[in-house]
A and B are shown apart, each in its own frame.
Chain A
Amino acid sequence: MTRKIFVRLALVPAISILATLALVSIAGAIWFALMNRTLRSPEYEFVGAYNFLRLLRDSRFFNALEISALWELITVTGTLGLAVLLSVLIYETVQKPLWRNVICFAFLVPVLLPRVAAAFIWRFMYSPSLGVINYLCGLVGIGPVEFLADPSLALISVAVVDIWQWGLFFTVIVLKLMETLPRDPIEAAMLDNARRWEIHAYVTLPMLKGPLVSLALVKAVESLRSFDLIFVMTGGGPGKATETLDLYAYQMGINMGGRISYASAMSLLLLVVTTIAFTVIWKAGKKWAA
């Protein structure tokens, strides 16, 4: 068996399955977005850009767009902020490798949980009548707080769960990255009598700028798939306070009469945004790797 045949046999099945499935779903989304197809009736016809034009006049779509943008902003900054803060804290206060490992293990647990499970765990704790958090709030004289039923709190409350899962995970990554940094610049700064926080703000964190930006972009793309968490915790409610784009597309495509074409137009939009973000990540990653 020559090299060429081996490479072909190894690559072609995997790549052709992936390419077929990807092509079918993208071509399908474009095709359906140009029709007026619904799940209810078998008949449909070509309507051109009608679905896209209607999106522009759909206030619920713009609400979903706004919620998605807000969700991105809160979860990405929250996750990265928490990760940087905690990793510096652990780096400074925990020196024994054993304890560092214990903390890393504990911090990895939340991200491994299925989103559905994390959602239930926190719904249980947020519950106004029997949740632990409201019990603690009661001890200091607040509450009961309707974390998931109050429109002004619901999005933040769900975002806390996302940050709990990803912020702790990224803390472990940033800590591991800090451990691999060369010691010389840090020791030089210490000789100059720099304060602890100054060393991190001006020496270690700038050295990690590349990986931190990559992590932020990875989280940004990951945050776009928030469906599981929000679906189980609030279902998009109260009202439309937590309805992100993928939730709205799901409601349109499945629940509300199965308006497949309209939902396709929306998911295409999401696809374009994700692809652009992803291409930027890839290019940036190549640049830093070089």
Chain B
Amino acid sequence: MHEWALSDSIAAAAKDVAKKENLKKVDAITVVLGELQDIAGNIFAEIFEDVKKNYAGVANAKLIIESEAAKFRCLNCGNIFGLNRKGLPHETNEAMHFLPETAKLYIKCEKCGSTDFKIIQGRGVFIKEIKGDK
């Protein structure tokens, strides 16, 4: 599962943060899942329960998942628009799932039709907050 590698990266990054900040243990990690990458939160959380055991100091961390809608800003006309999956073939959704930047190959600005836009939010997976004990 592709989600396994991303979930594993959350545990690895939390361990790195704990080391840098001298945390004895990580109690909670708030992760944001962007709409564009379309990661299934329940599967992601389930995998995390397994992978976190491999990382010292993270093994008892609680995972809090938030989701974020995708937003794009057109670099041609300035229009800000969201993701509309209607009519997108399975292969396109699959490509964006593995490599969110490929959205630029398949999606156009709703106003001017340009494919030159910036993903301003809701791209993929990132850590928003870590709670731990010194």
A binds B: no
A residues apposed to B, CB below 8 Å: none
User: Which residues of B pack against A, CB within 8 Å?
Assistant: none
